[in-house]
Structure 1
Amino acid sequence: METLLAEAGFSPGASSTDGLRVNLETVEVGDYSGPEGARATLRTKGISSAVLEVARGGILRRGMPVENVQAAIITNVAEDHFGEWGVASLPDMIATKFVVRKVLAKNGLLVVNADDAGCVKFAESLSETLCWFSLESNNPVIKQHCDAGGRSCYVEGDQIIFSSASNKEIIAEVKDFPITVSGMARYNIQNCLGAILLAKALDINTVEIKKGLSSFGGSFNENPGRGNFFEKDGITIVFDFAHNPHGLNAIVDLVSQFEAKRKLVLIGQAGDRSDNDIFSLVKAAANLNPDKVVACEILKFLRGRETEEVPELIKSYFIEQGIEENSIIIKEDILSGVNSALEWAESGDLLLLLALDQKEECIEAIQTFCADR
């Protein structure tokens, strides 16, 4: 979304779990998805627009940090962080995420995922003006919304379509946008659809939208920790931040489409997740049928667990999923796990590295590995 705003002539600021950005440049690294990040962005001199990631923790603890928003988006709602701040179920989490609608301006638009059943059900009782997106043109919510003259964005064949009361236009071919990985990254197709609706809500024209999304790739600089691909001497490395089953299933769906002689998964998890949450994460990772597993400790995220408790739990759950014990190693942190994975790799291998910590250090290790070979 930052790229689209810049393409349209705005000076964007942004706050997210990755840090603070001004005019597409990172100025602070860290988790700024709470109220502090939003305030810091909005106080930045020289920006004319803001893209604010508002995490459920900040919403529950301190409410929304901004008012009179022109557009807001709910991409999806997944089972994660249950048991915290009164959220005990998926319906609780959905209600929390939809709090963003309460800060919309009078003419503000709420963009919602029509492929998410929980979002669809919750939205039935809303009075706000909704815009829907879907991977399927025959999605019943999309069809009904289009018939009523509402705004929507969806995939029809290989094309991305924007529809409104007065217009139906082809935005682009799915494969035109690098972030979709030639259409294989379904979750990023959805992200493009949502971004298009946000852009349209801000009166950004189709030419600028297409140019912006066509220039936005999957490098670490552009989209850190979100499906970053590296290749060297026949080795494919995928670096991602996925840390719940929903996100991991999406990235596994993508990387499963690549041929590989051998596959490795590096994984860790925060200690405040329940045993069942960790099992579900491992189950999602095991769908890749890895030949090697690197289970990593994350000392800064122990959160009440004993040292090595989480990686040992991960190991036991992979064994339950049919992975041989001698194919699983435990490392003391994410970076040492990444270095171990790189040492193991041979031509034809696929490495899926799920880095919840030490992202900058891990990327440096990967870049050095790719440069040295």
Structure 2
Amino acid sequence: MNPENPLIQKHIASGGTAAVYEEGHISILKRGWKLRIEDVSNIPLTLSGKASFMIQNALAATLAAFLHGVSIDDIRMALGTFTSSVAQTPGRLNLFDVGGYQVLVDYAHNPAGYEAIQSTLERWDCQRKIGVIGGPGDRRNSDLRELGVLAARMFDRAIVKEDDDRRGREPGEVAALIRQGWEQEKAGDRLQEILDEATAIETALEKAEPGDLVVIFPADVQRTIQIITRFQDKLNPKPSYRGSSYSIGPDLISPSPDVKLS
């Protein structure tokens, strides 16, 4: 992410090749030359360059492809057409339009994952940021409290839930630890506790208002997508045609092309 990094410079000086992010571009550096591959604003996976962790992923993929002899045109085409859709990357930065508000689904389940989403949401233009949060039961108590701290920093309101598999924890134990972290940052009633994941997601979707962004950190990704899809169908009924059937295939369940970022 920093082409002036001493490790990068030393590597290039010794004959190595590196992929770097410079002046808004994914570029390849090798000794005395630089090859610009693509502007990140043309890479859907990065949400116009706002999702820095996706820029990091694009760097790794670009370098791997380049060193294996994939043509620049093919690399550029791949970067420009690969999206964080349900079909291609289920549970990884999937964005949905649901009746005037947006829903973002990401399988973030540790502090590093929460921090990555937090950095993206800092650039997001919306009315309210509402989270459906949780964490695996086999993490340290301190890690679960940290999830609560990070969630309080990125969301206006949130619902804390638990995984179906609590991994040895008692019911409510994980949620209580996350709440402790949340309350270090935010006091009051802005964190609701609904332990059942499906119910927590449905509640967040029902209470969301136009202009809101609902962010869901699910344990069961496929179930979460099915719930969101049901809400889409309920708020935007499919047209019916007399004498014939009409259906929308799963490939059309994809992120919104209109990402509201500041």
TM-score interval w.r.t. the shorter chain?
0.7 to 0.9
Asked if 1:313 corresponds to 2:177, the answer is: yes
Give 2:169's aligned amino acid.
Answer: R
Structure 1 residue 166: Cα displacement: 7.4
The one of the two structures with greater contact order (alpha-carbon pairs below 8 A, sep at least 6) is 2
- Measured in 2, the distance between the counterparts of 1:148 and 1:268 equals 46
> Residue 344 in 1 paired to residue 207 in 2?
yes
Distance in 2 separating the partners of 1:317 and 1:193: 34
Residue 155, structure 1, aligned to residue 21, structure 2: yes
The answer for the alignment partner of 1:221 in structure 2 is 87
Q: Distance in 1 between matches of 2:176 and 2:150?
A: 17
Q: How far apart are 1:236 and its partner, in Å? A: 1.7
User: 1:332 corresponds to which residue?
Assistant: 195
Equivalent residue for 1:94? none
Aligned-pair distance for 1:242? 0.6
Q: Offset of 1:147 from its aligned partner?
A: 2.3
Select which of 30, 44, 47 maps to 1:181.
47
3-state DSSP of counterpart to 2:158 = strand
User: Distance between the aligned counterparts of 1:229 and 1:188, measured in 2?
Assistant: 14
Structure 2 partner of 1:367: 229
Q: Which residue of 2 aligns with 1:207?
A: 73
The answer to whether 1:191 aligns with 2:53 is no
SS in 2 for 1:149: coil
1:78-97 deviation digits (Å, cap 9, x = unpaired): xxxxxxxxxxxxxxxxxxxx
1:2-13 aligned at under 5 Å gives the runs none
Give SS of 1:197's match: helix
Cα offsets for 1:55-103 (capped at 9, x unmatched): xxxxxxxxxxxxxxxxxxxxxxxxxxxxxxxxxxxxxxxxxxxxxxxxx
Please say which of residues 144-153 and 334-343 is displaced more in the overlay.
Answer: 144-153
Asked if the contact 1:331–1:337 (Cα under 8 Å) also holds between the matched residues in 2, the reply is: yes
Deviations 1:250-308 (A, max 9, x none): 111112211222221111112111110101122222221x23211112231x2221111
Deviation per CA, 1:5-25, whole angstroms, max 9, x where unpaired? xxxxxxxxxxxxxxxxxxxxx
Bigger share in strand? 1
CA displacement, residues 290-349 of structure 1 (integer Å, 9 cap, x when unaligned): 23211112231x22211111112222321222142x222222322111101001100011
Q: TM-score, normalised by structure 2?
A: 0.85
What is the identity, as a one-letter code, of the residue corresponding to 2:210?
S
Instruction: State the Cα RMSD in Å.
Output: 1.5
5 Å-filtered alignment, 1:101-112, equals none
SS at match of 1:224: coil
Q: Which residue identity does 1:316 align to in structure 2?
A: Q
**Normalized against structure 1, the TM-score is what?**
0.60
What CA deviation, in whole Å up to 9, does each residue of 1:98-129 have, x standing for no partner? xxxxxxxxxxxxxxxxxxxxxxxxxxxxxxxx
Give the AA of the match of 1:345. Answer: A
For the 8 Å contact 1:249–1:285, the answer to whether it is kept is no
Which residue of structure 1 lines up, in the alignment, with residue 140 of structure 2? 274
- Runs of 4+ with deviation above 6 angstroms: none
Equivalent residue in structure 2 for 1:293, among 135, 140, 158: 158
Aligned pairs for 1:73-112 (under 5 A) are none
Counterpart contact for 2:145–2:179, Cα < 8 Å? no
After superposition, the C-alpha distances for 1:206-249 in whole angstroms (9 at most, x for unaligned) are 11111111110111111111111112343121101011111110
**Gapped regions of structure 2 (runs ≥ 5):** 236-262
Partner amino acid for 2:224? Answer: C
In structure 2, how many angstroms separate the alpha carbons of the residues matched to 1:328 and 1:279? 14
Task: For residues 9-63 of structure 1, give each alpha carbon's deviation from its aligned partner in whole angstroms, at most 9, with x where no partner exists.
Answer: xxxxxxxxxxxxxxxxxxxxxxxxxxxxxxxxxxxxxxxxxxxxxxxxxxxxxxx
Once the two structures are TM-superposed, the CA of residue 368 in structure 1 deviates from its matched residue by 1.9
CA deviation vs aligned residue, 1:172-207 (integer Å, no higher than 9, x gap): 111111001000010000100000111122211111
Count of residues in correspondence between the two structures: 235
Q: Distance in 2 between matches of 1:299 and 1:268?
A: 11
